[in-house]
Structure formats: C-alpha cells, structure tokens
Amino acid sequence: AQKITQTQPGMFVQEKEAVTLDCTYDTSDQSYGLFWYKQPSSGEMIFLIYQGSYDEQNATEGRYSLNFQKARKSANLVISASQLGDSAMYFCAMREPQGGNTPLVFGKGTRLSVIA
Amino acid sequence: GAVVSQHPSWVICKSGTSVKIECRSLDFQATTMFWYRQFPKQSLMLMATSNEGSKATYEQGVEKDKFLINHASLTLSTLTVTSAHPEDSSFYICSASPSGSLVFGPGTRLTVL
C-alpha cells in the first residue's frame, strides 16, 4: 500500500491566488514527520515545510502552510498569493519515526502551474 | 546550514561502462546517507541506505551488484553504476541527516547512450 498519496497529478492556479495541494498518508506509527518539497526543472529538492506528528499547531513558513488533520491522516500544503516562480513539482513525504535517521518516502507529486 | 554536494552534476556515458557518483556532506558528518533515483516525470524512489563502515542496505528490486555503494568516510558516499545501460539513465539524488533534519544533494543526471 502506498504510504503517501497525492491525488492531483497537475494543478493550475491564477497568480496571486491561493492553492491547496493534497496529501494523505498511511502509518501505524505514533511518531512521524511530514515534509513538503518543491522541485523545479533544475531537479534540486527545495525544502518547504515540516510537520511533526506531535505538533498541535499547523506549521507555517512564509507563504506556505500545512493543513494537518491527524485523524484524517492528511497533510495538505497551502500556498498563498501564488507567484509565477511557484510553478514546479511538489512532493509530499513522510519519515518514520519523527527525527529518526531514516529515509523519506515520497508521494508521486503534483505539478503546479501558475498562470499570469 | 548543512550542505550536501554531489559530483558530477551530469554525466553522459556509453553503454557498458561504469560511472561513479560522489555524495559529500560538506560541514557535518553523516554515518548514514540515502540514495534515490528519479526517472523522468516520476517521484523519488529510495534505492539504498549507505552506512559508514558497513554494507549498504538495498531496497527490494535494486541490484546490489549493479549499483555499488561505498561509504568510505563520515563525509563521503559513492554510488557506482556498473555496466550502465540506457535504462539506467535517470536522476540520482543523495541525502543525509544532520541532527535530525534532512538535506538533499543537488542531484546527478546520468544519460547512458
């Protein structure tokens, strides 16, 4: 079974609008960490935001916020005030346990296109 | 902040040759590094976990004899693609965990002709 599910292969958003990228995860562990990365065409993995399973408040980093709904096992990324430079692939990923020296498991990604 | 470098950033080789990719942690020590492979328009798939001073752990379906991993020091892991074939053409990315966080290298784009 997939551990990370991103159901939106592609998304379009108008410049300056907000957009939500969906991510659901599957784990039986109590301790885990959820990550979002941006990957432009250059290929580099740019870290955006992190949410630990024990964190009670939703993570925010500038224009990025993570809508963490633990009971529903979802960790959606919200990008506010979209910019043309936000056009890229976005990956949701999980690590078990939180803070452990373990690899990330990635979802299939969502390609975001910002339209002027 | 912590930085992971990779060399080379891109490489083109002939079918049947071997290619070595280096992953270095520049300002921290990494007892463990992770190697991922990303085919075009796909996600990152974990290939193996590289452990300093011991054998690498490979994911199911990854050929150990084809993808040789050597973690020779606390700052260097190498991935050697032996007898490369066109289907090995991919983007290879390494990552390491300084103090619980995760840092990715910039990736190596391999094209096998």
User: How confident is the model over B43-61, as pLDDT tens digits?
Assistant: 999 999 999 989 999 999 9
Q: List, for residues A37-96, the tens digit of each pLDDT value.
A: 999 999 999 999 999 999 999 999 999 999 999 999 999 999 999 999 999 999 999 999
CA B29 and chain centroid, separation:
17
Model pLDDT, residue A99 = 79
Alpha carbons A61 and A74: distance in angstroms, whole number = 18
Q: Are B34 and B96 in contact (CB under 8 A)?
A: yes
Given a cut of 70, is residue A34 above it in pLDDT? yes
* Partner residue opposite A44 with nearest CB, options B36, B44, B107: B107
Q: Distance (Å) from the C-alpha of residue B97 to the closest C-alpha of chain A?
A: 6
Mean pLDDT of chain A: 96
CB contact under 8 A, B49 and A103: yes
Given a cut of 90, is residue B25 above it in pLDDT? yes
Mean pLDDT of chain B: 95
CB contact under 8 A, B104 and A101: no
Q: Are B59 and A106 in contact (CB under 8 A)?
A: no
CB contact under 8 A, B43 and A91: yes
